[in-house]
């Protein structure tokens, strides 16, 4: 048991990054049998960002991380721990966090990846970061990054049009001055921290086969034959089942986190869900009886960026003035596994 006194812990800074290359629906129409109207009707997506040819997962993670640190008024030397949530690692071994720790020039702090959680990865990692930051006063960098354009099958029109590349980051730690010898004035927008009021998460492993990429693991090892068949990019997705489960789980998690915090939907300033597709977002809002103007969506511009979608949307919402001091903001996400979660923040 820690002998350190408890310190108020919050999100000290946020950052995000999207690559420059824009891939439009019209671009996809020149590569596979699809149209802008077909994609928009089913997903609400118009365009997405793809990494440049020489750009890798850690390249994107570094930019988002440095922006989150700058927002917190901190430097890499102030970090005590690093967590990376990704399903598209820099290499198979070691984890991407090791590359990021070195790239940032951080101290020799614990660094590890949280992989396989799909689109729920950021919320899971932030929840872990809060528990770590409370155990002993420490500042934890969380980065969610996905370079999905390298993972997907560019010939499968059912999945290739859905995804985009992006990275989002948060620094979690004690309030400014809470760490002995720490940097005064840390925290987004001039020293204020974002408070976590409640969080929930869950997993239902019965549905592992509904959204999966099997080749490359021990069940279906990578081989020349598998590569020739394109199985290493064979993302299996039962769209109807994913839709049903995503709406059910994100709605239930949202209600539970509000119940735990003693907050009503009407008290929320904004809901920032995982940006899977517009139909899922609309269904979740309807289930929660949430007014349309309280649902934040950027899926039209960025597509589904996996674990990076929630922090990317959160950063954009704040930059656009959709979040103000004192606002209650609900985050919710759902991903392969199935994993899901929700978190209530006060800015």
Q: Which three-class secondary structure state does DSSP give residue 185?
A: coil
For 203, the enclosing helix (H) or strand (E) is: strand 195-203
Interatomic CA distance for residues 324 and 273, integer angstroms: 18
Which one from 119, 277, 298, 339 is the annotated catalytic residue? 119
Angle formed at CA 66 by CA 60 and CA 69, multiple of 5 degrees: 140
Q: Encoding tokens for residue 19?
A: 């690559």
Q: What is the DSSP string of 277-317?
A: -HHHHHHHHHHTT--GGGB---HHHH-B-GGGHHHHHHHHH
What is the Cα–Cα distance from 171 to 166, expressed in whole angstroms?
17
Report H helices in the chain.
25-29, 36-43, 57-72, 96-104, 121-135, 157-160, 188-191, 224-228, 239-261, 278-287, 299-302, 309-319
Q: Residue 271 is inside which H or E element, if any?
A: strand 270-273
Catalytic residue status for 160: no
Catalytic residue from among 25, 160, 274, 298: 274
Q: DSSP letter string over 2-56? A: --SPP--EEEEEEEEE--SEEEEHHHHHTTSS--HHHHHHHH---EEEE--TT--
Tokens of 28: 């996809």
Q: Which of 266, 267, 322, 334 is nearest to 297 (CA)?
A: 322
Q: How far apart are CA 164 and CA 338, in angstroms?
A: 21
Residue 28: CA count within 13 A, CB half-sphere: 31
304 classed as catalytic: yes
- The rounded distance, in Å, linking the Cα atoms of 26 and 39 is 10
274 given a catalytic annotation: yes
98 and 111 Cβ atoms separated by less than 8 Å: yes
Closest by CA to 208, choosing from 238, 247, 175, 165, is 238
Catalytic one of 277, 298, 304, 339: 304
Query: Which residues have a catalytic role annotated?
Result: 119, 274, 304
């Amino acid at each position: 048991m820690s002998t350190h006194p408890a310190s108020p812990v919050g999100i000290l800074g946020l950052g995000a990054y999207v690559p420059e290359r824009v891939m439009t629906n019209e671009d996809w129409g020149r590569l596979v049998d699809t149209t802008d109207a077909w994609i928009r009707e089913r997903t609400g997506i118009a365009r997405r960002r793809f990494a440049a040819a020489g750009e890798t997962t850690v390249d994107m993670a570094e930019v988002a991380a440095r922006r989150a640190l700058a927002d917190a008024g901190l430097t890499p030397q102030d970090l005590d721990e690093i967590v990376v949530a990704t399903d598209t690692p820099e290499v198979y071994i070691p984890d991407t966090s090791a590359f990021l720790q070195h790239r940032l020039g951080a101290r020799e702090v614990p660094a590890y990846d949280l992989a396989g959680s799909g689109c729920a990865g950021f919320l899971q990692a932030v929840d872990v970061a809060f528990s770590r930051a409370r155990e002993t006063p420490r500042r934890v960098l969380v980065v969610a990054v996905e370079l999905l354009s390298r993972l997907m099958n560019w010939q499968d029109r059912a999945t290739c049009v859905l995804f985009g590349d992006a990275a989002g980051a948060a620094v979690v730690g004690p309030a400014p001055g809470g760490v002995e010898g720490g940097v005064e004035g840390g925290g987004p927008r001039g020293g204020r921290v974002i408070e976590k009021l409640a969080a929930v998460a869950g997993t239902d492993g019965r549905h592992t086969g509904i959204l999966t990429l099997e080749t490359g693991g021990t069940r279906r090892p990578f081989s020349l034959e598998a590569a020739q068949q394109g199985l290493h990019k064979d993302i299996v997705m039962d769209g109807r089942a994913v839709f049903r489960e995503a709406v059910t789980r994100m709605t239930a998690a949202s209600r539970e986190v509000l119940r735990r915090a003693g907050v009503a939907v009407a008290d929320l300033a904004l809901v920032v869900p995982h940006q899977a597709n517009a139909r899922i977002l609309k269904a979740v809002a309807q289930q929660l009886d949430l007014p349309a103007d309280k649902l934040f969506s950027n899926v039209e511009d960025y597509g589904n960026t996996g674990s990076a979608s929630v922090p990317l949307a959160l950063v954009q919402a704040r930059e656009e003035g959709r979040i103000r001091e004192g606002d209650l903001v609900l985050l919710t996400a759902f991903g392969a596994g199935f994993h899901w979660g929700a978190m209530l923040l006060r800015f």
